[in-house]
Each structure stands twice: as structure tokens, then as C-alpha cells.
Amino acid sequence: MFKKVYETAAVAKVGREGLVKTTDGQLSLNLGFPKAMGGSHSDRLNPEQLFAAGYASCFSQAVFAVSKKLGHDLKEAPIEVTVQLHVQEEPMAFELRVGISLTVDLPEAKAKELMKLSHETCPYSKLAKPSQIIWLKVNGMDVPY
């Protein structure tokens, strides 16, 4: 049985072009549409960037937790999470799709096992539908999921 160990909340009042802040006051950002979506605020972050950053840091922690269980002594394991926003006109719908890449100094079989188990462990990955994961890669190689 899971037990809650942390909770946080954030508030956005006017969508993608306004202020978003956490209720504890630790984060306060003005968001903006990226230029690729017709925005004019290239100096502002957008929700997809925040999601990618959160996913990458969460997945990185999963990699270190799993690697410790497997007996690997990793000093670093860079994770790159690519987030794509997809839109459907009729009926109107939006969807995020993600690709996750890990670079790690392990033999191929062990690296792929680490990637697969980390994906199964990461809370962000558990939220994603299988159709939203567009790739898992370790050291440039595809990992089945």
C-alpha cells in the first residue's frame, strides 16, 4: 500500500500566457506561448518545458534508485526528456508525447535493463499512456517497453 510522502499544489489563473505559482510561494513564473505556437514571449517558459524538466529529474532519481537495487555504482546518468505537444482540430484535443534518453556507462544488456526498470518505477512514466511514449533509448539504442 502506498503512503503519501509529499504534496504540492500550483495555481494558474489565465492559461499559458499568465502567472503560475505554487501555493507555498517557492515558484512564481510568467508563462508564454513559444514562438512555434505563435507566441511572442521567447523569454518565458511554457508548460511543456516545465513538464520536461520535472519528468527528467524524476526519471533521473528513478535511475539512481533502481541502479542501487541492481548493485550498480553510478556517479551520473544523464536523462534527456523530449516533450512534444500534439493537437487535433476536430474534435478539439491536445496530447503530450514524450521520448526518454539515458546515457550510462554500463554494458548494453545491463543498461537496457536499468532503463526498462526505471521506466516502470518513475511516477511520471506511470502517468503516461503507452501511446504517449514515443521512445525509450539508452546510449542511443532503442529499449522495448
> What is residue 36's predicted lDDT score, i.e. its pLDDT?
87
Dump pLDDT digits (tens) for 99-135. Answer: 999 999 999 999 999 999 999 999 999 999 999 999 9
> What is residue 90's predicted lDDT score, i.e. its pLDDT?
95
pTM of the model: 0.93
Question: What's the chain's Rg over C-alpha atoms?
Answer: 17
- 4 pLDDT tier (thresholds 50, 70, 90): very high
- C-alpha cell belonging to residue 84: 512534444
- Cβ contact 57:50 at 8 Å: no
Q: Structural domains in the chain?
A: 1-45 (2.20.25.10), 47-142 (3.30.300.20)
Q: How far is the C-alpha of 108 from the C-alpha of 143, rounded, in Å?
A: 10
- Cβ contact 100:132 at 8 Å: no
Q: How far is the C-alpha of 9 from the C-alpha of 77, rounded, in Å?
A: 29
